[in-house]
Copies of this chain bind each other. A is one copy, B any other.
Amino acid sequence: MEPVAVVILLALVEYAAFGGLVGWARGKYGVNAPAVSGHPVFERYFRVHQNTLEQLVMFVPAIWLFGTYVNATWAALIGLAFVVARVVYLIGYVKDPAKREIGFALSSLSVVVLLLGALWGVGRQVF
């Protein structure tokens, strides 16, 4: 499971970096805590971070269970696609909220493949 562990940690480091960008955007666009709105570009960074959180909650257990019950190498490869797709999502969203779609679709697809694959893999053991 070492490759899966590495990819999980990379995804978490990426997420920490997105959190750092939110802090930086607070300063740059003058949005003081606890406010989370007030400047449209700040809100994009904030939403990128939040949306990545929303996906990580599914990603981490799904990649771990896919790695355990299906195949660890495939889990790591699909997980890497997720990490890359989140960068595409960030760049697109900050440029223009309408351009967030491709990165969002790609990372969502990774999560869906991991979720359904893991469900199939576990189901195979039970029945």
Q: Please tell me which one of the listed residues B5, B62, B100, B126 contacts residue A2 in the complex, with CB atoms under 8 A apart.
A: B126
Q: Contacts A32-B97, A33-B47, A97-B34 given; indicate if A58 touches B12 (C-beta within 8 A).
A: yes
- List the B side residues contacting A57 at CB < 8 Å: 12, 15, 53, 56-57, 60
Contact between chains at A54 and B112 (CB < 8 Å)? no
- List the B side residues contacting A36 at CB < 8 Å: 47
- List the B side residues contacting A15 at CB < 8 Å: 57-58
How many copies of the polypeptide does the oligomer hold? 3
- CA–CA, A57 to B53, complex, Å? 7
- CA–CA, A13 to B113, complex, Å? 11
Chain A contributes a number of interface residues (CB within 8 A of B) equal to 46
- List the B side residues contacting A61 at CB < 8 Å: 8-9, 12, 60
- List the B side residues contacting A100 at CB < 8 Å: 33
- List residues of A whose CB falls within 8 A of some B CB: 2-3, 5-6, 8-10, 12-13, 15-16, 19, 32-36, 40, 43-44, 46-47, 49, 53-54, 56-58, 60-62, 65, 68-69, 93, 97, 100, 111-112, 115, 118-119, 122-123, 125-126
